[in-house]
């Protein structure tokens, strides 16, 4: 996969998981065909999931309202969050926020000199911030250092919980958009596991099966 495509995948998925996308963003994604073009570029199962996301967006305003309702149901509330978007929840037995994982992620961002707008408004281990951090590292010019930092962050954080999070989204989502988004996230995680350096000693990651 090209470095630019990998970066754009992390940016896209991270951005769509940050907040419920407004009409203007949905309209722009349809008009510039950025999701469809990325699907064509990466191909395979990942491309199929991106194609499904574009299909839903292309249905128009009512579909956009539905995906926003699903976003709130899954990640916001007001009832119990069906897919809590924080690493700490998935890595603690009591499923609590603001635990050790959040502190580790905060230190990882600081070590790379990375900050995000609105970081004070949500925990640093929010899925959207972790994915956008991956995009930043993929795009760094110092390739050898950035590649090592990215591999470490993927192994210690993203791959340790995002597959379980994405499986929850697939199971709980009512609409096609978030099921496809979760499928794309799972497929991307699977590629990161497959393409990781074999010499790197790390836990084997069990990835859920991506729904068609």
Task: Tell me the percentage of the chain whose pLDDT exceeds 70.
Answer: 91
- Give the separation between CA 150 and CA 58, rounded to whole angstroms: 33
pLDDT at 62 over 60: yes
Rounded Cα–Cα distance for residues 71 and 83 (Å): 10
CA 23 to chain CA centroid, nearest Å = 21
Under 8 Å between Cβ of 74 and 172: yes
Q: What is the DSSP letter of 121?
A: G
Span 69-77, average pLDDT: 95
> What would the pLDDT profile of 140-171 be if each residue is shown by its tens digit?
988 888 999 999 999 999 999 999 999 999 99
CA distance linking residue 155 with residue 144, whole number of Å: 17
Give CA–CA dist 7/188, Å, rounded: 11
Copy the structure tokens of residue 111.
């070590």
Q: Is it the case that residue 49 has pLDDT exceeding 60?
A: yes
Least confident of 12-21, 74-83, 124-133, 164-173: 74-83
Residue 198: pLDDT over 70? no
* Residue environment code for 85-114, b if the CB has 16+ CB neighbours within 10 A, otherwise e: bbbbbbbeeeeebebebbebbeebbeebee
The answer to whether residue 139 scores a pLDDT higher than 80 is yes
Q: What is the mean pLDDT of the chain?
A: 90
Angstrom distance (rounded) from CA 79 to CA 63 = 23
Q: Return the number of other C-beta atoms located less than 10 Å from residue 185's C-beta.
A: 28
Region 83-87: mean pLDDT is: 96
Residue 121 · residue 97 · CB < 8 Å:
no
């Amino acid at each position: 996969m090209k470095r630019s495509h990998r970066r754009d995948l992390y940016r896209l998925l991270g951005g769509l998981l940050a907040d419920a996308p407004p009409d203007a963003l949905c309209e722009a994604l349809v008009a510039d065909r950025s999701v469809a073009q990325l699907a064509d570029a990466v191909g395979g199962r990942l491309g199929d999931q991106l194609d499904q996301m574009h299909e839903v967006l292309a249905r128009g305003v009512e579909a956009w309202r539905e995906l926003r309702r699903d976003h709130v149901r899954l990640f916001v509330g007001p009832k119990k969050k069906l897919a809590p978007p924080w690493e700490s929840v998935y890595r603690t037995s009591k499923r609590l926020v603001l635990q050790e994982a959040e502190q580790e992620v905060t230190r990882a961002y600081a070590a790379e000199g990375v900050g995000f707008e609105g970081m004070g408004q949500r925990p640093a281990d929010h899925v959207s911030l972790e994915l956008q951090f991956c995009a930043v590292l993929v795009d760094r010019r110092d390739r050898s250092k950035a590649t090592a930092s990215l591999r470490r962050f993927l192994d210690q954080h993203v791959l340790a919980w995002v597959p379980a999070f994405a499986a929850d989204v697939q199971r709980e989502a009512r609409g096609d958009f978030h099921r496809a988004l979760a499928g794309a996230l799972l497929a991307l995680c699977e590629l990161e596991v497959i393409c990781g350096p074999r010499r790197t000693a790390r836990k084997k990651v069990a990835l859920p099966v991506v729904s068609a």
